[in-house]
Amino acid sequence: MTCTAMEMTWTVMMMTTTTMAWMTMRAAMTWMMITAAVTWMVMTTVAMKISTWMKMIVAQVHLIMSTPIDGMEGSGSST
């Protein structure tokens, strides 16, 4: 009985190790895909934000250009 128990334990250990390795590989691939997706989303968001900022800066510059020198100190707020 001890021999079969050892065999059972060894088989379970091997199966667990294989499963763990497979899960780790799957998890690594999933994490790579998730990281790529998140990076793409962040890059897209940053690009959209930068374009929005550029529009805001251009609008601010136009505002500063169009306003006379008297109201200049009031319109210097930049977020």
What is the residue-wise DSSP string for 5-51? HHHHHHHHHHHHHHHHHHHHHHHHHHHHHHHHHHHHHHHHHHHHHHH
Confidence of residue 5 (pLDDT cuts 50, 70, 90): confident
User: Which range of residues forms the domain containing residue 28?
Assistant: 2-67
Running DSSP on this structure, what letter comes out for residue 69?
S
Does 75 map to a domain? no
Reduce the DSSP state of residue 55 to 3 states and report it.
Answer: helix
**pLDDT tens readout for residues 16-35:** 999 889 888 888 888 888 88
Running DSSP on this structure, what letter comes out for residue 1?
-
Does 13 map to a domain? yes
pLDDT-above-70 percentage for the chain: 80
User: How confident is the model over 10-19, as a mean pLDDT?
Assistant: 90
Does 37 map to a domain? yes
Does 78 map to a domain? no
Q: With 0.85 as the threshold, say if the pTM is over it.
A: no
Does 76 map to a domain? no
Name the domain count of the chain.
1
Does 74 map to a domain? no
Q: Residue 65 — φ and ψ, nearest 5°?
A: -65, -40
